[in-house]
Every structure is written in C-alpha cells, then in structure tokens.
Amino acid sequence: MQQKKIAGMFHFGFFFFLSVIFILSCSKSTNVKNDEDIQEGPVAKGCPDTDYPDWKSSPYVLPYPVGEAYKVKLSNCSGSYHSAGMPDEFAIDFVMDIGTLITASRPGLVVYIQESGYDGSHPNNLVIVDHGDGTFAEYMHLTHNGALVKKGDYVEKGDDIGLSGSTGLAGYPHLHFVVAKDSWQWMYTSTPVTFSNTISNTRSLASETTYIAFPY
C-alpha cells in the first residue's frame, strides 16, 4: 500500500514537472518580456504626435544577427530625409561597413530586388519584403549583387537578406531600414516600428545609440 502511495506521488510530481516545463516553454515563445528582463535604453524623441507600438511585443527584431551591435545614425524625425512629413520620417539608418550581413526583421515574401548598382553610385540597391498585412520592410543601400534572396522567396525572422553597402543616396555605408504601409513604391508612406530583441525602445530607436541584438 505504501509503495502504491509513493508511486502515485511520483507520477503526480512527474506530470506536474512536465506541466511547468510546458508553460515556461510557451511563455518563451512570445515576445512579451517580464519587467526583470528589461534593459533600459534611452527614450528617443521620435516623431511628434505619434503613438508607437509596444516594443516588448513587437513582431520586428533588429535587422542583423543575434549578438551583433550597430550604431543608429538617423532615426525617426531626426532631420534630412528623415524629417517629419517626409516619406522616410520613420526610417532608421544603421551604420555598417560594406558587406555587413543583414537579416530579416520580420517574416514575409520577397516582392522586389534591385542589386545592379555599385557603391557610391546609383541605383539604390534594395530588397523589399511583404509582411502580408499591408506593410513592407525595405532594406536599402545594399552593395553590388548584395541580395542573398530571390523574388518569390519567403523569409523567416532572422534569415539572411543581403549585404549592406553605400548605393543610391547613401552618403556613407549604412543600412536604411523603413517599413512602408499600403505600398512600397516611392513616394511611400512610412510607419513607426519598434524592436523586441534589444534594450527598451518605447519610441523606437534613438540616434547616436548602439543597439545589440538579443536572442529571440
């Protein structure tokens, strides 16, 4: 009798342990973060009168591999082509050497590629990914023949997209990342995005700040 009781307690404990593991694994599959996991970043000015999506549950991750870190030069409404009211008001420029690996910020279908330009000249090389909800991620200023995908490819978050460069109106080597809504064609309308796998960015990324890509 005592042996049956012990066996029953063992089975109960074993199944309880499996249940806890299952719950924990499910919680890790989301982007929602606990307060103790948050590493504070600077609060960007962002664009005025703009409601930014919650960064902790954002479907977007930084457009480069986990463990890498790059500095933001221009961010939202920070001047030049990123000024308020411009098509690129919500764009972000990541300073990157030519040939730096760029990865998918969000899953989607590759709908357009341009890679014939040479660094320092036109055209502006880019890859455009359709997220299927009326938004399009645009990865710009890629180097010559820098696309690592083909039109019609479906990319998952973190998949290789291309190699950064300095084509088009780049001025210096960097990745120009922008999400357009309704249409990806110029003059598009950009939309604000935040990123779930880095330090806090309640009003998107701040200029002159380096952001490391955490695991997701």
Residue whose tokens read 């055209």: 123
Residue 37, SS3?
Answer: helix
Whether residue 174 contacts residue 164, with contact meaning beta carbons closer than 8 Å, is answered with yes
As annotated, the active-site residues are: 174
Among the listed residues 192, 182, 187, the one whose alpha carbon sits nearest the alpha carbon of residue 49: 192
- 13 vs 5: CA distance, rounded Å: 12
Question: What Å distances lie between residue 209 and 120, 137, 172, 212, CA to CA?
Answer: 25, 22, 17, 10
Residue whose tokens read 């200023």: 141
Whether residue 142 contacts residue 164, with contact meaning beta carbons closer than 8 Å, is answered with yes
Structure tokens at 189: 């309308």
The total number of residues written for the chain in this structure: 216
What single DSSP character describes residue 51?
A: P
CB hemisphere CA count around 57 (13 angstroms): 4
- Residues in Cβ contact with 30 at an 8 Å cutoff, skipping those fewer than 6 apart: 57
